[in-house]
A and B are shown apart, each in its own frame.
Chain A
Amino acid sequence: MRIAVIRFPGSDSAEAIAGALQQVSQCYVEEVWAEGSKSVNGFDALILPPGHSYGDHVRPGALAAATPLMAEVQAFADQGGLVIGFGNGAQILCEARLLPGAFLLNASTRFVCQAVSLRVETNTSALTRACNTGEILELSVAHKYGRYYVEPDTLTQLEANDQIVFRYAAGQGEASATGNPNGSTADVAGVANEQGNVLGLIAHPERCVDPALASHDGLKVFESIVAHLQGDGTAGRSVQ
């Protein structure tokens, strides 16, 4: 199993993601430098890490989405390859239009760094196969632009197609100190494309993998990715 973590200028946590994957599997993880690489061929999955790619200029993820390598990522996804983004990686995927919707300035206008309880909305996705639907994962967020926004029609489609992967568990559909930390539409924290092979999660599972910490629920996300890849390799939602 070969997984690439694509590092852009300003990305971080690539090592943490590689470490988490290797904590739950024997997979080979390679860091791919976005500015020097022309191809993403030969990998079973691509992960876009958190951080502040290209300084978050224009909008977080916008300049990374416009790089030539992201055209290769798009082609990889178009062929059914698994592409995952955490934090800024999820923002990049929305900016590249590989995921529906967009991430906006938090409703509070503030940077938030806190623990969050996320509810697994479906356990057929590549991020949640090792979980039960309805299970609560304790993860963390750290962002200023984490307010997920989709138009009402798109939200209806996402719900009908089972594309919402995680929601803020205590959310009431609007920003709150204990539930929805940023004002995301319908408490959405993680989303998939229609085919289920591109997934974004604004939270940071890679920061919750050490048993010494209060939560290591992030491991379940990485176990899910590995379980998905060890399946038949098709999009998560098509494999029950």
Chain B
Amino acid sequence: MTYEARVYVTLKEGVLDPEGRVIQERLAAGGRPHVEQVKTGRFYQITVTAASEEEARAEVDAMCRELLAHSVTQTYTFTLDRV
């Protein structure tokens, strides 16, 4: 079966996100002063084949831990849908 994972990788709380800070500052300066914070991250859309949803979930989780997110600085979440 084929599954599609949508993975979101973001910086952990407390890790400076200078790109997010610049975007927030520019939004505020451009007339959106109510934007308090912007956090940036990465999005991955991954299609995998697996025997079950459980297997697909384990596979995507392993990819996140081993490559897509660095355990010191980043955290991740993902959704999984059968396609």
- Determine chain A's interface SS by DSSP, over half rule: loop
One of A58, A63, A66, A149 near B72 (C-beta < 8 A): A149
Instruction: Give bound CA distance, A100 to B72, whole Å.
Output: 9
Q: Are A101 and B72 in contact (CB under 8 A)?
A: yes
Q: How far is the CB of A148 from chain B (nearest CB, A)?
A: 11
Q: Is A232's CB within 8 Å of the partner chain B?
A: no
Q: Indicate whether B36 reaches chain A with its CB closer than 8 angstroms.
A: no
A70 to chain B, nearest CB (A): 12
Count residues of chain A with CB under 8 A from any CB of chain B.
21
Report A-chain residues with C-beta under 8 Å of the C-beta of B19.
105, 109
Indicate whether B66 reaches chain A with its CB closer than 8 angstroms. yes
Are A109 and B16 within 8 A (Cβ)? no
Chain B interface residue bracket vs A: 10 to 19
Within 8 A of B (CB), among A115-138: none
- B19's closest neighbor in chain A, by CB? A109
In the complex, chain B residues whose CB is within 8 Å of the CB of A108:
18
Contacts of A59 in B (CB 8 A): 70
Within 8 A of A (CB), among B21-61: 22, 42
CB distance from B14 to the nearest CB of A (A): 9
| Further 14 A-B residue pairs, CB within 8 A, beyond A58-B67, A104-B73 | A58-B42, A62-B67, A63-B67, A66-B67, A105-B19, A106-B18, A109-B19, A109-B22, A147-B16, A149-B73, A150-B72, A151-B72, A154-B72, A183-B16
Interface residues of A (CB under 8 A from B): 58-59, 62-63, 66, 95, 100-102, 104-109, 147, 149-151, 154, 183
Residues of B at under 8 Å CB distance from A? 11, 15-16, 18-19, 22, 42, 66-68, 70, 72-73
